[in-house]
Each structure stands twice: as C-alpha cells, then as structure tokens.
Structure 1
Amino acid sequence: MSNKKSFINNDKFRVVGTSNQVDGSSHNSQDFLNSAIEELCSVYNKEIMKGNNNDSIIYSIEQHFTNKQQNPEE
C-alpha cells in the first residue's frame, strides 16, 4: 500500500509542478488554477486510498466542488 501511496503523491506533485510552469497572464488566475488542481488531487488521492472506483471518485470530486461553490471560503 505504501508504494501505491508514494506513486499517487508523486503524480500529485508532478501535476502541481507542471501547473506552476504555466505562464498565466493574471497571477490571481494562476493561484486559482493551482488551488483547484491541488484540491482535485487531494480528493482523488483520498478516494483512491479508500479503494473507490472511477465513478465513485468522479462523484466525490463533483460533490467537493459543488459544496465549495455553495459555501465559498471568505
């Protein structure tokens, strides 16, 4: 299981690292994109560790962003 977790975490950092290389015209837009990617990876990793299938993972990601949209952080 630790190899699986390590692999998942490495993928997360690879995706986030790649997003940091994107030259955005607006710093705020880039921050938003980076934050969304980190959240997406976090939810994905949690669901994978639970052993959930793709449909369940997609549903959980959708629920996460729906809840966030309904209850934005201030």
Structure 2
Amino acid sequence: MNWYPNFWTHVTQFQKKKDLVLKCEAFAQESNRLQAQMDNATWQAKRLSNNNASGLNQVDRLTCQLKEKSDQVLKLQPV
C-alpha cells in the first residue's frame, strides 16, 4: 500500500534543494576566504617596502579565482 504516492518525489526535490543550499554556503565561505586574501594582497601592494607588482599580480589572480567561483554558482539551476 502506497500511503503517499508523491513522497519520494518530495524527498528527492528536498535533497536537490539542500544540495544547492550547501553549494551556495560553500561558495560564500570560499568567496570570503578569497576576499580576505585579496584585502591582504592589496594592503601588501600598498606598502612602499614591498614589491607592488607582486602584490597587484596576486590581487589579479585572486580576482580571477573569485570570478570563476561566482560563475560556478551562476550555473546552478533552480529546482
């Protein structure tokens, strides 16, 4: 006897939504980490005693990583 015919459909949809939320949370953590690295690299680049080109290259690299992560999140499809 199947007391709730759509039960497994709802469970599957819930799991997909949960997976999307976890991916978004992981993106938020990763973007916060990259932003902190960018802030640090920017601060280092502004210091006169440091090699400005090196710090700015690091900021550029981190910016590209952050854009790649945001592109990955934008590719997530709503359930």
TM-score computed with the length of structure 1 as normaliser: 0.45
Bigger Rg, structure 1 or 2: 2
Name which structure has the greater RCO, CA cutoff 8 Å, separation 6+. 2
TM-score computed with the length of structure 2 as normaliser: 0.43
